[in-house]
């Protein structure tokens, strides 16, 4: 249970990640899950939602790349594409999202990918507006969000605004390619910043420390 | 083949109990007797979920050999780290997962964890076959770290952990690493 003045935790259900974070993501955080293709970002997002539902926390998946039938059935979907998003469109979008979150008591939100949304916005100030408004909606509704991004660097606005950053990557070691995960930042909790190896299995995303061989 | 060795192996494991890492030092000609003791006489009879990590013989070959010895393999799962390396057609099944190479040590830990999850509620017995073979493919420091993490995580799960080793072919530093992670080393002749 959270102490007075301390934010509660959203237990992701990904056991290794919860251990790294000392119990889960601080509730209402925006966490950027970034990394190259095939590193397990979507799997992590989906497990976050599925484990939430299993724990009685409704989730919302906004998919901007793949159709929901390919990912999961029966998840609400927004289609974000087409014209440029201006300030009015952003406010309308966040209001619609806020309505869904409140109506369905959504506690976990995944946007896969946020890149598609942000490329529609041509201005950094508008990116910040979108993320700022989203942050307020999440805070009001005690909803925790994962924003999936294919960016391998977190220098863009979403990296700066996010409360947390989880970097997913590939590590080549003597010809072997390992999938890795590293929590670079997470406001509101102390956490490990080490690199971990992950495996995507039908029993969930599994995590173990990267071996260093005494180096 | 030593008479009754399989029974000795089962008795030793029974005496040691769970949350224990035991290293069996074996001779090559007693290999199947020891494996039979672990799987048939001990794991099967106790209803344990047995995870066999093989880095020397492909899972399909081992399964065939064990079945020809009439060993009950129904509760046996394999983490096969050698089929890919040998370019052998490793067979994926519900009870066999392939790891590309015995050098992908973290993935081996994760595959053992995978079988622990799908066998939730059952006590585990994990066999690492063999320390010699892993030492052939890996740097000793990496191997020591791997065995330390694996055995400690299995201890926390109250699992039985068995390391198989051929002492005659073992370098001193490998023997030292094995001794470090084992609660007991039992020479079997």
Model pLDDT for residues A24-76, shown as the tens digit of each residue = 999 999 999 999 989 999 999 999 999 999 999 999 999 887 766 665 543 33
For A115, the 3-state DSSP assignment is helix
Q: Is the Cβ of A172 closer than 8 Å to some Cβ of chain B?
A: no
Please give the CATH topology (third level) of the domain spanning B25-160+172-187.
Rossmann fold (3.40.50)
Whether this model's ipTM surpasses 0.90 comes out as no
Q: What is the pLDDT of residue A137?
A: 94
Beta-bridge mates of residue A201:
A204
Which of A178, A203, A204 is facing B106, going by the closest CB pair?
A178
Q: What angle do CA A124, A182, A40 make, to 5 degrees?
A: 80
State the pairing for strand pair B160-165/B20-25: parallel
Report the alpha-carbon distance of residue A15 to residue A204 in Å, rounded.
9
Q: Which among A58, A52, A28, A29 has a CA at the least distance from the CA of A165? A: A29
Q: What is the pLDDT of residue B39?
A: 95
Reported as a single tens digit per residue, the pLDDT across B37-55 is 999 999 999 999 999 999 9
| Residue A84 vs residue A163, higher pLDDT | A163
Q: What is the pLDDT of residue B36?
A: 94
State the pairing for strand pair B160-165/B124-129: parallel
Q: Return the structure tokens found at A135.
A: 């942050």
Domain ranges of chain A: 9-209
Please give the CATH topology (third level) of the domain spanning A9-209.
Rossmann fold (3.40.50)
B146: closest CA of chain A, how far (Å): 7
Its pTM stands at 0.88
| A contacts of B49 (beta carbons < 8 Å) | none
- List CB contacts of A7: < 8 A, sequence separation 6 or more: A26, A27, A28, A188
Which of B100, B106, B142 is facing A197, going by the closest CB pair?
B106
Q: What is the pLDDT of residue A89?
A: 83
Domain ranges of chain B: 25-160+172-187
Evaluate if residue B132 carries a pLDDT over 60.
yes
| A contacts of B152 (beta carbons < 8 Å) | none
Reported as a single tens digit per residue, the pLDDT across A88-124 is 888 888 999 999 999 999 999 999 988 888 877 878 8
pLDDT over 70, % of chain B: 96
pLDDT band at B2 (very low <50, low <70, confident <90, very high): low
Q: What is the pLDDT of residue B166?
A: 94
Mean pLDDT of B123-140: 96
| B contacts of A209 (beta carbons < 8 Å) | 106, 149
């Amino acid at each position: 249970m959270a102490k007075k003045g301390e934010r509660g935790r959203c237990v992701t259900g990904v056991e290794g990640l919860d251990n790294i974070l000392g119990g889960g993501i601080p509730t209402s955080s925006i966490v950027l899950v970034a990394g190259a293709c095939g590193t397990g970002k979507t799997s992590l997002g989906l497990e976050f939602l599925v484990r939430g539902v299993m724990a009685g926390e409704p989730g919302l998946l906004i998919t901007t790349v793949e159709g929901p039938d390919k990912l999961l059935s029966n998840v609400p979907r927004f289609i974000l594409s087409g014209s440029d998003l201006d300030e009015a469109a952003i406010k309308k979008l966040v209001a619609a999202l806020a309505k869904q979150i409140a109506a369905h008591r959504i506690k976990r939100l995944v946007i896969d990918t946020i890149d598609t949304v942000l490329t529609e916005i041509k201005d950094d100030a508008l990116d910040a507006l979108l993320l700022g408004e989203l942050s307020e909606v999440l805070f009001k509704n005690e909803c925790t969000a994962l924003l999936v991004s294919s960016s391998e660097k977190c220098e863009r606005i979403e990296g700066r605004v996010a409360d947390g950053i989880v970097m997913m990557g590939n590590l080549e070691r003597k010809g072997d390619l390992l999938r890795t995960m590293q929590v670079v930042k997470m406001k509101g909790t102390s956490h490990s910043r080490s690199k971990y190896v992950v495996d995507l299995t039908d029993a969930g995303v599994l995590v173990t420390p990267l071996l260093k061989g005494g180096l | 083949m030593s008479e009754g060795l399989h029974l000795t192996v089962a008795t030793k494991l029974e005496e040691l109990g769970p949350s224990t890492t035991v290293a069996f030092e074996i001779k090559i000609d007693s290999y199947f007797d020891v494996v039979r003791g672990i799987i048939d006489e001990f794991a099967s009879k106790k209803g344990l979920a047995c995870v066999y990590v093989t880095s020397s013989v492909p899972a399909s070959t081992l399964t065939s050999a064990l079945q020809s010895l009439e060993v009950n393999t129904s509760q046996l799962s394999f983490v096969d780290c050698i089929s890919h390396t040998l370019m052998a057609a490793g067979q994926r099944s519900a009870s066999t997962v392939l790891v590309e190479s015995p050098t992908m040590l973290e993935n081996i830990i994760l595959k053992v964890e995978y079988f622990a999850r799908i066998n939730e509620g059952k006590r585990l017995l994990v066999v690492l076959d063999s320390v010699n073979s892993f030492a052939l493919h890996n740097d000793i420091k990496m191997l020591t770290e791997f065995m330390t993490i694996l055995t400690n995580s299995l201890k926390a799960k109250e699992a039985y952990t068995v390391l198989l080793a051929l002492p005659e072919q073992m370098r001193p530093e490998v023997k030292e690493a094995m001794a470090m992670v084992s609660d007991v080393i039992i020479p079997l002749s």
